Structure 1
């Protein structure tokens, strides 16, 4: 929903990092916002749009919200339209009556606290999803989180954290059980992508007190990494996406994002060094699961009718999966190390048609050409 229109240095950097801005609690905008939060807590209002009562300059002085928002237990709609916020504090979990959350066009909000998923009445949200980590269109990677049990940089205590490292200036309690966290060394951080309300899948940061609390997290949304992760994937799986493509010529394409595909090629799986033409049995919509691995994934061929593999040269470091070569500028792309990439195409059979595409670095001396792993092969030229 919406485009990322503001310049954001954290998204241009690789690897992606948290925003490191600290809140200036002496700024006029912060002081006025704190007054508005206190007023809302006192009068029990059901709708709260505090930024609309600040000047433009005051809004730019606010990079987070006061922890006091947790006292707004009667607010049903929180409006933060067009803010300069870079994070939402976990105390939002105290807003137990919240039904609607509107941070739309807050383009510097790339993630949310897990506490948002625990709000029992939240039903609607309006978020600029193209600014989010893990978005299926923009492919924004997640920041890599600190190792569990390691003090790490910026670790002066849970009340004085470096937000560029931890995503927060303080952590007061476990995101899952509300229990205490045994200092920075006891902090277990993880990412999980959940459908918190409406149609949006949001990337959520969990600050857990134990591995047990991480194990208790719900299952992620379909098409996302299959469990909590620290920004480096799960079990070698670095990224996952569910695409809906239209194979109107009975073919799909897997290619280097910098290559041009010869649309006249009609082979079911035709290698062109930098591109593959993947055949389909239907000329209509195809559900495509794309998974990116750090290394060759284990074989699970028994679950599929047909399996083929090939190698594609990807000097750009980006692999596009698309249904029309002319659509390359807006195609779904996946990051891998520049060089040869192994592609495994698996067909489970049945209707409607589905295709799974797995990608991983082939490495020097990796397998070349097309190999029919299972099922009927196709002529390859």
Structure 2
């Protein structure tokens, strides 16, 4: 599924449909560098721009092949989706209208892979006006026992 999300406040969210979680307290110097904050049933992905970003969401059976050279930043975390309905949205989007992905209820491992970051940052507020400058985020998810945040490739602007 490919969606265009408004990354208001430089973030997008992935959460269980029934989550009442809050991410505001989770953003620290460390999580900002990791570009991800995760709590039990909600996680936030920090974007480099606060305009529209392209998000590709893929549900797979197990960890996909890791394409280190294709991405600027790669990070993983676990999130619980007890309802079986995972929501993908901009942080200020209206929850009832947000995109949903049906998954097996339980724990999911989420791999966030970000690309085109140099071009997006250089274009700033105009980054969403062209395919050459838009920030791209690939989200792969698969069932897996929970584990902590793991940065696999760090982007340093």
What SS does the corresponding residue of 1:329 show, helix, strand or coil? helix
Among candidates 276, 296, 302, match of residue 43 of structure 2: 276
Separation of aligned partners in 2, 1:310 and 1:258: 19
2:61 corresponds to 1:294:
yes
Root mean square deviation of aligned Cα: 1.7
TM-score, normalising length: structure 1? 0.34
Give yes or no for contact 2:6–2:52 (8 Å, CA) kept in 1.
yes
Larger Rg: 1
Question: Which of residues 150, 153, 157 is equivalent to 1:371?
Answer: 150
Instruction: Report deviation, 1:296.
Output: 1.9
Mapped pair 1:251 → 2:33 = no
The match for 1:321 is: 88
Shift of 1:376: 4.0
Q: For 1:325 and 1:313, how far apart are their aligned partners in 2?
A: 21
Moved over 3 A (4+): 265-268
- Mapping for residues 106-145 of structure 1, pairs under 5 Å: none
1:247 Cα deviation after fit: 0.7
Task: Give matches, 1:210-359, under 5 Å.
Answer: 241-265=1-25, 266=27, 267=31, 268-324=35-91, 327-349=94-116, 350=119, 351-359=133-141
Structure-2 separation of matches of 1:337 and 1:277: 21
Deviation at 1:375, TM superposition (A): 1.5
Are 1:360 and 2:120 matched, yes or no? no
Gaps of 5+ in 1: 1-240
Q: Is the 8 A contact 1:263 1:325 kept in 2?
A: no
For 1:261 and 1:302, locate their aligned partners in 2 and report how far apart those are by CA, in whole Å: 34
- What is the alpha-carbon distance in structure 1 between the residues aligned to residue 90 and residue 75 of structure 2? 19
**What aligned pairs does 1:1-80 form with structure 2 within 5 A after superposition?**
none
Give the deviation of 1:343 after TM superposition.
0.3
Query: What 5-or-longer segments of structure 2 have no aligned partner?
Result: 120-132
Residues in 2 aligned to 1:312 and 1:263: alpha-carbon distance in whole angstroms: 13
Greater alpha carbon shift after TM alignment, 270-279 vs 290-299: 290-299
Structure number having the greater strand percentage: 2
User: TM-score w.r.t. structure 2 length?
Assistant: 0.78
Deviation at 1:325, TM superposition (A): 5.5
